[in-house]
Structure 1
Amino acid sequence: MNSGLVWVVALSCLGLTGCAAATASVSSKDTIVVGVKDDQPGLGLKEGGTYHGFEVDVGTYIAKHMGAKQVTFRTVRSDNREKLLNAHTVDLVLASYSITPDRAKLVTFGGPYYVAHQDIMLRRAETGVRGVRDLGGRRMCQASGSVSTERVVIGLGIRPRLVRGSSYSDCVRMLLGGTVDVVSTGDLVLAGFAARYRDRVKIINAPFTDERYGVGLRSGDIDGCEGVNRALTTMYQDGTAARLLSKWFGASDLKMTTSVPEFEGCT
């Protein structure tokens, strides 16, 4: 290639959004790596070397709908989702990843694939909490990297006694062991634990926020985002979403929504 042509190509790339960016969409990949949690029953759990759960199944559905020939999984945590996405360690993240304005500055969100609602989980014998206003003074677990605690403390001005946990599975262990009194986050996360520990914990079914669980993509991947939204629309329309929600959370007695969520838009 002569030097003049090299400059033409370079200038063309600069005039667009960058040639690398144009070819980096997850929608063009034969193998898609999906980041999921490995410790959340019902959503993403790794047992015997295999990941399973609602988000694992949804991630598989999306990737195959986008044309991937192979789908693999990698563990993410609430505090490293953006880092792993933008480092190209994972291509999609489905990990109870609530869409927020601050997070949307760092990644592009497809979906949401489900609109959950923040609720409260207690030990089954507990009777003193009927709603979020009853959390003042209670020992509430604060999971690392989660925004759920901020919604209670900053958003509503309620002052529980915060006890730090590394993850929601850690929080649930503390709830079962009596170290904390309350775990509060999206009801779909709580439902997975409630189904597993049905005789020991309960969800009070007093929701107080919307939790728009998005599919995280690398920042600026508009083609990938649009592909994700097409896949999610089909997933709800063909009945797969309703079947998967029943499969993973039916035992929790949580009332679930099976209509297509309103998408954020790929911008």
Structure 2
Amino acid sequence: MGRARRGRRCRVVGAAVFLVVGALAASACGSAEPPSLFASGKVSVGAKNDQPGTGVVHTYKFSGFDITVAQQVLKAVGVEPDFGIVPSEDRGAVLVEKKKDLVVATFSITVDRMKELDFAGPYASTYQGIMVRKNDHRIRRPDDLFGKRVCTWPGTTSATTLQGPEYSRIAVYERPDASSCIDDLKVKKVADAVSTDQMILYGFTQENPDLRVVPDITYGSANHYGIAMAKGHRADCLKLRDALRDYVRSNDWSHDFATSLWSVPKADPRWETDYKPRVETIDALSCRDQPRT
């Protein structure tokens, strides 16, 4: 009888210890989850500094549509952005390495990038295009680029697209950044054209009136720009997604786009249809490991 009681008591004590250890383990696991990016009320945001209209720095101040989108959406979730420069090729790395909380830098949402990062977006969509010197009318259609020197820069979907076999007759080459490509284009013997997303190209023409976008040349599928963050902050991502939905539905999106990228409405009467994202697309691409089909 005594042994039976001791046995039951040992089992009860053992069960209690198991519950305590389990609770501690659960608590430890819970504390391992990363805190909200918005906990301090301020987030570091990687942005471009050499893309007029989308992301540029003049007299130490950031401006452009990327910047306005970040300010509007973060304001809606009660957070203040602290902008810093990030080159195209480093946009993913600064998030994975925790050097930036967010990146808003005409960063296209792709299937491969969604495996490593979360995106809230798109906040704008555009196709890849071509920019030439204003008085150069040799390039009117895609075939006219055969044998021509076209400049791109690393870390962009534009550089990847033009590496396809169907473009092997185009002499594509890379420079370190957008500014270098534009400098090359202005020197007639160096480059015949610059290629990246049309939205970005139109921004370049705003500060370079001697350049123009060829409207009828586009490549590939649409590029959808998103607000990027490292994996592990899905709740924060969903808050940004919801704020972005409201922003796109409002009149503010069109006003802000036309203010930052005035060259687009000037050239394209269908600009809202061409560049403004649909809410359905935002839902399909935001805060997911792969696009919703």
Q: Structure 2: which 5+ residue stretches go unaligned?
A: 1-16, 289-293
Q: Distance in 1 between matches of 2:74 and 2:18?
A: 40
1:98-137 paired onto structure 2 within 5 Å: 98-137=108-147
Check if 1:239 corresponds to 2:239: no
Equivalent position SS for 1:134: helix
Equivalent position SS for 1:117: strand
1:41-72: CA deviation from partner (whole Å, max 9, x where unpaired): 1111111111111111111112111111x321
- 2:84 paired residue number: 74
Check if 1:265 corresponds to 2:265: no
Residues 233 and 260 in structure 1, CA contact (< 8 A), matched pair in contact too: no
| Residue-pair matches, total | 260
Residues 108 and 219 in structure 1, CA contact (< 8 A), matched pair in contact too: yes
Q: Distance in 2 between matches of 1:173 and 1:8?
A: 62
Q: Distance in 2 between matches of 1:105 and 1:164?
A: 26
Q: Distance in 1 between matches of 2:35 and 2:172?
A: 42
- 1:205 paired residue number: 215
Residues 45 and 84 in structure 2, CA contact (< 8 A), matched pair in contact too: yes
Which piece of structure 1 moves more, 174-183 or 114-123?
A: 174-183
Q: 1:62 aligns with which of 62, 73, 78?
A: 73
Residues 122 and 277 in structure 2, CA contact (< 8 A), matched pair in contact too: no
- 1:35 paired residue number: 46
Structure 1 residue 204: Cα displacement: 0.8
Give percent identity, aligned residues only. Answer: 27
- 1:248 paired residue number: 260
RMSD after superposition: 2.2
Q: Kindly tell me: are residues 266 and 13 of structure 1, through their superposed partners in 2, closer, same or farther at Cα, counting changes over 3 Å? A: farther
Q: Deviating runs (4+, > 4 A) in structure 1?
A: 2-7
Residues 31 and 72 in structure 1, CA contact (< 8 A), matched pair in contact too: yes
Structure 1 residue 9: Cα displacement: 3.7
Residues 237 and 260 in structure 1, CA contact (< 8 A), matched pair in contact too: no
Q: TM-score, normalised by structure 2?
A: 0.81
Equivalent position SS for 2:163: helix
Which piece of structure 1 moves more, 153-162 or 219-228?
A: 153-162
Q: Structure 1: which 5+ residue stretches go unaligned?
A: none
- 1:222 paired residue number: 234
Which piece of structure 1 moves more, 117-126 or 141-150?
A: 141-150
Equivalent position SS for 1:25: coil
From the two aligned structures, give the one with the greater helix fraction. 2
- 2:101 paired residue number: 91
Q: Kindly tell me: are residues 10 and 118 of structure 1, through their superposed partners in 2, closer, same or farther at Cα, counting changes over 3 Å? A: same
Q: Kindly tell me: are residues 43 and 20 of structure 1, through their superposed partners in 2, closer, same or farther at Cα, counting changes over 3 Å? A: farther
Check if 1:177 corresponds to 2:187: yes
Q: Distance in 1 between matches of 2:215 and 2:18?
A: 67
1:57-96: CA deviation from partner (whole Å, max 9, x where unpaired): 111112111111x321011111111111122221111111
Check if 1:8 corresponds to 2:23: yes
1:17-62: CA deviation from partner (whole Å, max 9, x where unpaired): x5443x4333444111111001111111111111111111111112
Q: Distance in 1 between matches of 2:171 and 2:277?
A: 37
Structure 1 residue 168: Cα displacement: 1.4
